Amino acid sequence: MLLVVLGVCCGSAAGFDIVKDGRASAVVLTPDPCDPIVLDAANCLNKYVQEIAGVRLEVIPESQAGEVHGNIIALGATRLAARAGVNVADVSFDGYIHRVKDNIFFIVGPDENISSKVADSANPVLHNLYLSAHDENRWARLECRRGTLSGVIGFLHDYGGIRWFLPTPMGEKVPKSATIRVPDDLSRKAEPPFACAFAQNIGAQSPLGGRLWGYAPGFYWAAANSFRLPLSCLFLGGHSWVVQVRIFSGSAEALFKTHPEYFAMRDGKRLLGQPHNPMLCTSNPGVVDMLTQTLQQLFDQGWDMVQYNQSDGYRRCECPNCDAMDGYRTYESGKFTEPCERLFIPLKEIAERCFRSHPNKKILAMIYGPTKLPSAKVLKFPSNVVFQICHTEPEDFDRWRGRGDLFGAWLYWFGAYQAPGVSVKYTPRAAAENIALFHKHGVRVLYWGMGSSGENWGNEGPVYYVIGQLMRDPSLDYRQILHEYHTGVYGDAADTMREYFDCLYDRIDRYYLAQVGSSLAQIEEVGSAEAFFTSVYPPQALERLQGLLDSARGLAKDERAKMWYALTADQFQYIKTTANVFHAYREYKKAPTQDLSLRLRARLDERNEYLDRLMAYGRDKSFVENWYPGYAGITRYARYGSKGRSKLGVPFTEFPGTP
């Protein structure tokens, strides 16, 4: 959190005691009636105070408290807070206020269940959105402003010394202490630098998959590492046209029957094309009406921000009216050379009309494909347009500066469909560089779109932790964050594990990210799992990494450090056995001899033995829940990869044969 210091907050001699010498010195007062969001915060506070000091604090609804003489922690929007003038009206996103006044420590931030604002509708598409927003098991439940919980986490982090390294009960580091206190002149407002940060599966999911929201350790990890969605934003998978067409007339097929002229023309004919990815004729005023009205319907339903973008793999409409709007014709040698005004001009009109009808609602417009090159005609969009840039590169910010108020980023860093599959996909250095860039350029919405993440916590854990901590405070030095992680997780093995991770991430930086770019915009440069594994993990690199792991093995003394070391070493075996198969296969393809065939067979056997071991961990549920975050993800994709570039075909699926 970026801290705005309102008063002097350095520790004073007296201090405000919450627990003193192993005894509770404060009671917790909650608002009455108490919103479940504040109750979550009270439960979080008590769970960790108990873990630190071994005592529970009494939690009392404020109306039943009567006269309290000792210290009070007033959580959430209590009447006490209102009376003391502790007001969260101007705290942005899910920030919070910490303030000590006389015998009361106020922890309060804006709390709101945003999904509860999404209304039902007779329209089948809107009805489904309503169901998903209200389904407690869906990720949409993340759409909550939990400012008071942020305040509790901030307190536990700053004054309890707790660190949430990995999203399981054993991934937390909770220092023991008989006394917990805050300065008695504490007064500050903390506001998160990023409005929201969402990555599928990161944090709130249990290691066994599912129970997205009910899984407390993941929930607290996500809150402490700033992965959260305190905005009512409807992300439509990036491409909104299909949803808008369905809201408007049920399906693209139905719309094509009544209004074929709404669809793109090719070779003189209107085409339905792929109904799940319709291409529209944007010079048609009826299309602009449809796109406007359907956004208005979504705003009426209760969403504050709705993503908007043309269909994926955009193909222009060749009708004379569309072609008269611009010189955009095609995607030439990998670059868009002419601005696609036929998309920008309608967007401006849609935004103006939505601004008149819904002045407080936002359109999250994706800058993607043909819209990466800014308009030469629309130099400024209405203030309700928020641009979300895909494949963010430094020059995008310069090009787009001044055209919209606020930027979002749609990021491709993770996703098991990428060439690395469930191995390491990103590095702390690249993450730190990009987050600094985003912060500098006013990016407020971070969204890791597409696919899952969090399948290899043993080797990607430091990346997620660096991202999480930088999202709380972009001024931190990522090497310091890594140091905290290594010592907190690996104990006495920290120094050697640092060497291991430095070596691992250096390989990813030099032989993967340097080729594809840190935004992964040139992903076709490393187009396959084979290209990835053979260039990043040649035999000598695997040997070096294995050597470092071997020398770290005996160093970890306590049980916790040993177990986390074991996770990293285990998941390195995935990387190593997979790379070894590719190396043997390459040799075999060059000269398909009996010897090389046998060697390939042996490498495949080693990998299958590893995979069998990995699958067997699932029998011990308690082991997995404590020590194997992301287990559901890695086991799902380990054997044959996911889709696209990560797919593992021959020789994984089928032995190429013996000569």
Neighbours of 377 (CB within 10 A): 12
Nearest alpha carbon to residue 202 among 411, 454, 421: 454
Neighbours of 211 (CB within 10 A): 13
Least separation in angstroms between residue 317's CB and Zn ion is 3
Least separation in angstroms between residue 528's CB and Zn ion is 38
Describe the chain by its helix, strand, coil percentages, rounded to 5.
Answer: 45, 15, 40
Q: At what angle do helices 478-490 and 559-590 cross, to 10 degrees?
A: 110
CA–CA distance, 614 with 636 (Å, rounded to integer): 11
Least separation in angstroms between residue 348's CB and Zn ion is 17
CA–CA distance, 40 with 206 (Å, rounded to integer): 18
* Closer by beta carbon to Zn ion, 255 or else 549: 255
* Closer by beta carbon to Zn ion, 71 or else 283: 283
CA–CA distance, 164 with 170 (Å, rounded to integer): 9
* Closer by beta carbon to Zn ion, 283 or else 456: 283
Least separation in angstroms between residue 281's CB and Zn ion is 3
Helices (H) and strands (E) in the chain, counts: 22, 23
* Closer by beta carbon to Zn ion, 261 or else 398: 261
Q: Give the contacts of 25 (CB within 8 A, at least 6 positions apart).
A: 17, 18, 19, 70, 71
Least separation in angstroms between residue 283's CB and Zn ion is 5
Least separation in angstroms between residue 543's CB and Zn ion is 59
* Closer by beta carbon to Zn ion, 259 or else 636: 259
SS3 4: strand
Least separation in angstroms between residue 280's CB and Zn ion is 8
For the chain, the straight-line distance linking the first and the last C-alpha, in angstroms and rounded, comes to 62
**Residue 161, both tokens:** 């010394």
* Closer by beta carbon to Zn ion, 106 or else 262: 262
* Closer by beta carbon to Zn ion, 280 or else 430: 280
Residue 363: which H helix or E strand, with range? strand 362-367
Do residues 523 and 412 lie in contact, with contact meaning Cβ atoms separated by under 8 Å? yes
Do residues 448 and 408 lie in contact, with contact meaning Cβ atoms separated by under 8 Å? no
* Closer by beta carbon to Zn ion, 281 or else 354: 281
> In this structure, which amino acid lies at residue 348?
K
Burial of 134 (0-12, 13-18, 19+ CB in 10 A): middle
Least separation in angstroms between residue 284's CB and Zn ion is 6
* Closer by beta carbon to Zn ion, 224 or else 281: 281
Least separation in angstroms between residue 322's CB and Zn ion is 3
Least separation in angstroms between residue 342's CB and Zn ion is 7
- Give one DSSP letter per residue of 149-179, joined into a string: HHHHHHHHHHHH--EE-SSSGGGEE----S-
Q: What is the CA radius of gyration of the chain?
A: 27
Burial of 334 (0-12, 13-18, 19+ CB in 10 A): exposed
* Closer by beta carbon to Zn ion, 282 or else 577: 282
Q: What are phi and psi of 93, to 5 degrees?
A: 50, -125
Nearest alpha carbon to residue 172 among 485, 554, 538, 609: 485
* Closer by beta carbon to Zn ion, 115 or else 371: 371
C-alpha torsion angle, residues 640, 642, 644, 645 (rounded to 10): -70
Which ranges of 84-215 would DSSP assign to H, the alpha helix? 124-134, 147-160
Least separation in angstroms between residue 278's CB and Zn ion is 13
* Closer by beta carbon to Zn ion, 167 or else 339: 339
Least separation in angstroms between residue 311's CB and Zn ion is 14
* Closer by beta carbon to Zn ion, 24 or else 317: 317
Least separation in angstroms between residue 381's CB and Zn ion is 22
- For 480-493, b where at least 16 C-beta lie within 10 A, e where not — what string? ebbebbbbbbbbbb
Least separation in angstroms between residue 312's CB and Zn ion is 19
- Taking the CA atoms of 142, 146, 152 and 156 in sequence, report the sign of the dihedral they define: positive
Q: How many residues does the chain have?
A: 659
* Closer by beta carbon to Zn ion, 121 or else 321: 321
* Closer by beta carbon to Zn ion, 319 or else 600: 319
Binding residues (CB under 5 A) for Zn ion: these are: 281, 283, 317, 319, 322
Least separation in angstroms between residue 331's CB and Zn ion is 18
